[in-house]
Amino acid sequence: MVVSGKTKIAGIFGYPIEHTLSPLMHNAAFKALNLDICYVPFKVLPEALPDAVRAIRSLHMLGVNITVPHKERVLPLLDNVHEEASFIGAVNTVTNANGMLTGYNTDGRGFLSSLTEEGISIEGKNIFIIGAGGASRAVSYYLSEKASALALFDTDRPKAQKLVNDLSQIRSNVCLVKDMENMLPPDIVINATPLGLKPEDPLPFNPDLITSDMVICDLVYKKTGLLKEAECRRAKIIDGSGMLLWQGVLAFELWTGMKAPVDIMRNMLLSKIRGAAE
């Protein structure tokens, strides 16, 4: 693209940031729609986050994505925080409307869109989520709305209990799991922990509990050990690439007010993920 004095800037704040795939899919989307916008990754150290947020205003940026370790810390630095992001306690997208910064969390809706794309309905399903961190909070906020039951487990019991307590204020179908081996068999299992990022990571869920009529999801955007085990047992598997795509699609639409070129973004994203796996 040709950068000029009219070019608008979007980007992503994180630390570390070198691994991000967001510039690939967003810049491909801007190019496809002939938008004079450039998406840039910014390495923002934790102590520099307040200055970076002020720069969104002073540099008249279109908006930014927020990734680790800033998703929770950015909330008090914004002018407005959308209801879902406030409940989740984390922001992954910031819009700038004439200097007014508003925080959103598109992760949960992005995950739901990835399930819909795969033909998976959560209506009336028993869902089990492993992990109670930010990713779990984002997806459970939406899943609990239509699921028959939502069970949560985390080795950090107080963190899991807090999420259950928070969800119980708006839902009546949420419970804490203390023993995965003896729980009600779920229809959908979601790994919302980082386990699976490294080849040597232990499995977050006993594969002997997996049956062929289950859907096994992993928010890590590659075929993890859990997904490989589930595939061997003929379960339906879904990795985190769809969530990564759709949270980006939603961010794009918040910034531009335009319908995102989903196929362009998907192809760019998947080509990079598959290339890294080879």
Q: Point out which residues pair with 212 in neighbouring strands.
A: none
**Amino acid identity for residue 178 in this structure:** K
Active-site residue (options: 6, 31, 71, 272): 71
Q: Report d(CA 53, CA 43) in Å as an integer.
A: 13
**Cis omega (within 30 of 0) for bond into 69:** yes
**Residue ranges in the chain assigned as alpha helix (H):** 22-32, 49-58, 83-88, 107-117, 134-146, 157-168, 225-232, 241-256, 262-277
Residue 71 bears catalytic tag: yes
Q: Report d(CA 70, CA 49) in Å as an integer.
A: 8
- Burial per residue of 50-81, b for 16 or more beta-carbon CB atoms within 10 angstroms, e otherwise: eebbebbeeeebbbbbbbeebbeebbebbeeb
The token duo for 162 is: 């807090």
Nearest to 268 by CA among 66, 12, 29: 29
Which are the catalytic amino acids? 71
